[in-house]
Amino acid sequence: MSVQTDQSNQPTKVDLEMMTKALTLAKEAGDSGEVPVGAVVYETDTGKILGAGSNTRECDKNPSGHAEFTAILNACKSINDWRLNHCTLVVTLEPCPMCSGLIVNARLGRVVYGADDPKAGAVRTLYQLCDDDRLNHRSAIIPGVMAPESSELLKSFFKRLRDAQSQS
């Protein structure tokens, strides 16, 4: 499968397909009590999925259990290399500072994300770590892909939590 890379910072057809997969992972995470975030890392030129993940912080009692962290680690294991400059990360929520640092260190070529994160977003909202020219690597950023779907998952998850707490 040959994938066209759109240089205009618009999502490609493959980006949209991968975001759909990430949303499925996010829904599964939400159903298991995790904050509903999903992520996929794929080879930009071929569309081959190298890693995927969803939030597992509650289940694993691990603060690094973020969807994109898991997807990046799985992708690195898949290719037996820490360099992912030929890859795209697709994630339903804007990455936090920890994950944005990992994106820079893994040298991901592109980052596609859904909903902005006004409390911890480190790609566009609060910080711009992934394309900061003071760092040794910069990723192409495509924000807001399927943002309404990503936002709705998060809003409904937190509404269910608040409703459950108010009934206690």
Active site residues: 68
Nearest residue to 103 via CA among 134, 61, 136: 136
DSSP secondary structure string for all residues of 25-85: HHHHHHHTTS---EEEEEETTT--EEEEEE--HHHHT-TT--HHHHHHHHHHHHHT-S--T
Sorted by sequence, the CB contacts under 8 Å of residue 77 that are 6+ apart come out as: 51
- Find where tokens 């997969």 sit: 21
- Exposure string of 21-37, with b = 16+ CB inside 10 Å and e = fewer, is bbbebbbebbeeebbbb
The secondary structure of residue 130, as a DSSP letter, is: G
- β-pairing verdict for 87-93 and 49-54: unpaired
